[in-house]
A and B are shown apart, each in its own frame.
Chain A
Amino acid sequence: MTSWIVQAAATKTPQPSPPISHAQDPAEAAAETPLTALRTTCLLRDRHRCVITRAFDIDSALARARQSSPAVDDDGTPIDMDTTASLAVAHIIPHEFLAVMARNEATRVVMEMFDSGVAAELMKPGVVDGPGNAITLTLEMQQRFGQFHVCFSEVAGTTWRVDVLVPVLGGRFPVTTTRTGVEPPGGRLLALHAAVGRVLRGSGTGEYLRVLLGDAEGGVGVRGDGSTAVGELVGMVVRMKG
């Protein structure tokens, strides 16, 4: 599994529900349980709302509606069911990038060229799959974030602005949001994501990769749980490039 590009192609952090059943690699299987915990932690931290659109988690809304009427959000305010959405917990730095850095010294060096010290930070146990590297988003915003259509820029303290890097999202942005909770999304990682996005967009590389992987993905497909057979995908891309 790998990288920004695959994140951009698959655009989905593997979600714990429904359970991932295809895992062949013991290490991959072992990573499934922490994902469940990560989702729970981040939904609680982000108060069951998308940090960009503020949409409330539809599954939680329905569960609460069965228990009480009206259903209320984490602050006790009645939930507007028209503004609910399916939410995902998305990695800021793709989970797969850890494995790439572990194998490839040059990848770590380039990461250091981007942000000195961040590679060591990311490789600490629990960081990549921890709440500091995750944010709660609607499925739509997860795609926009993964494809670097939106990114976060620090305004002051815990206040961040959501910027658009492509014009298609129009007047909805910029919006402001806050990093909250005991373990908020890491500002350094959000800034790294934004930096990568601005480089990709500014050089036309994002579109180049989208075309490459769009073709590749057409041949590989996305699995039912939203993950992609990335090993195959990367292999295809390398062959296409070669």
Chain B
Amino acid sequence: MATPLGLDALTTLSAADPPFANDDDRAQAVGRFRRIVGHFEALEIEKPASPPQHGDGYNRPALIRLTFDHARSEKSKDLFLVVFFQFLGIGILDEDDDFVDVAALRDAVLGFAEFLMANFFLPRASSQSACLSVTLES
């Protein structure tokens, strides 16, 4: 099933209240995030370059992890996590659901890196966001 992630959703998220009831929930979400991205970053280290494990040119999992690591405040990191898990189409907490196979998230994770690239590091000149055309397979 394809789940469109549109601007409306992101706009709502950006204005949302803190998404975590407490620090434990936040820590759980951070751990979940790191497990997922770490899985693909480890693959990138094992098999860099030729043929590219995660597309050409740059380390997509590292781009995601570093963007989170360098976010400047807790509020920023919270928003990052919400958008990340929304993009992947899975719950933000371990209890929300179980994804058995991390590898199945590959396309979504790499797509998130490209979302960051298309909208921030290399934003398009057009008036429409790249995320309008993003669909997630789940």
Contact = CB atoms under 8 A, between A and B. Distances in A.
Interface of A: 2-5, 97, 100, 103-118, 188, 191-192, 195-196, 198-200, 202-205, 207-209, 211-212, 230-231, 234-235, 237-238
A115 B14 CA distance: 12
A202 B62 contact: yes
Given A203-B59, A203-B62, A209-B121, A115 B76 contact: yes
- Is chain A's binding surface mostly helix, strand, loop or mixed? helix
B39 interface: no
A188 B72 CA distance: 9
B10 A105 contact: yes
B119 interface: yes
A224 to B, nearest CB: 23
A208 B56 CA distance: 9
B13 A231 contact: no
Interface residues of B, number: 39
A205 B54 CA distance: 13
A112 B14 contact: yes
Contact of A237 (B14, B71, B122): B122
Given A112-B79, A204-B58, A106 B127 contact: no
Given A105-B11, A112-B14, A211-B57, A231 B125 contact: yes
A191 B70 CA distance: 10
B75 A234 contact: no
Contacts of B66: 198-199, 202-203
A211 B73 CA distance: 32
B117 interface: yes
Nearest to A209: B122
Given A105-B129, A107-B129, A114-B76, A203 B122 contact: no
Nearest to B79: A113
Contacts of B10: 105-106, 109
Given A109-B83, A112-B79, A115-B76, A5 B125 contact: no
A49 B66 CA distance: 34
Contact of B70 (A103, A114, A208): A114
